[in-house]
Amino acid sequence: MTDLRTLLEAGADATGQADETADLARLTAALSSRALLEGTLDVRHRTIDSPVGPLLVAATPRGVARVAFAHEGFDAVVDDLARRLGPRVLPAGSTLDDVARELDDFFAGRRDHFEVAADLALAQGFRRDVLDRLREIPYGATRSYAGVAAAAGSPGAVRAVGTACATNPVPILVPCHRVVRSDGTSGAYRGGAEAKQWLLAMESAAATPADRHTGP
């Protein structure tokens, strides 16, 4: 028979570890909030549950700079952000609650646009131009890669548009999922084909008839 004292001691150890974990989380959140106020934080991040799987959301003082899907490896994404945007990186605590709320509303079909700012520092040159064009695609609508290339002023740059969509640092907020192939099939997506199809179906179901116009 297992000794009762052993069980009690094990329970106490587990409780102590849980308390230490909670204390560390509170301390980290406080440090993140203070660093944000003092302007000494380069990037803050948190994970968010969603219908397309867990998401990592990371923001600079200028806005959301990265939305990553689980298969990208969150630790690798955070390391990359530290290299590219600055080494002062901390978990966000409650400082990204506004982003989480808007994403929750979007996934529930209650929101057709985002009000939180996006920091597109990770996109440069033509890729940045493409992201600006993506923001013009209405909720519930789609555009072809060729149509986006024409809108960006480079009709022959269809492949480059595909690359810009595939490397979009802030998918969902900047809706690269609304770009499809000329034959109407969904095409590739940073979050995976199933995630793209889910997003398109969700928007189609939630959009008004006026929203659903699909252009070239």
Which residues participate in catalysis according to the annotation? 176
Task: Give CA angle at 119 (113, 120), nearest 5°.
Answer: 100
Q: What DSSP string runs through 173-207?
A: TB-GGGEE-TTS-----TT-HHHHHHHHHHHHHHS
Task: Quickly count: other Cβ atoms within 10 Å of residue 208's Cβ.
Answer: 9
How far apart are alpha carbons 57 and 189 in whole angstroms?
18
Q: Which helix or strand (DSSP H or E) is residue 133 part of?
A: helix 125-134
Output b/e per residue, 115-148; b: 16+ Cβ within 10 A: ebebbbebbeebbebbbebbeebbbbbbbbbbbb
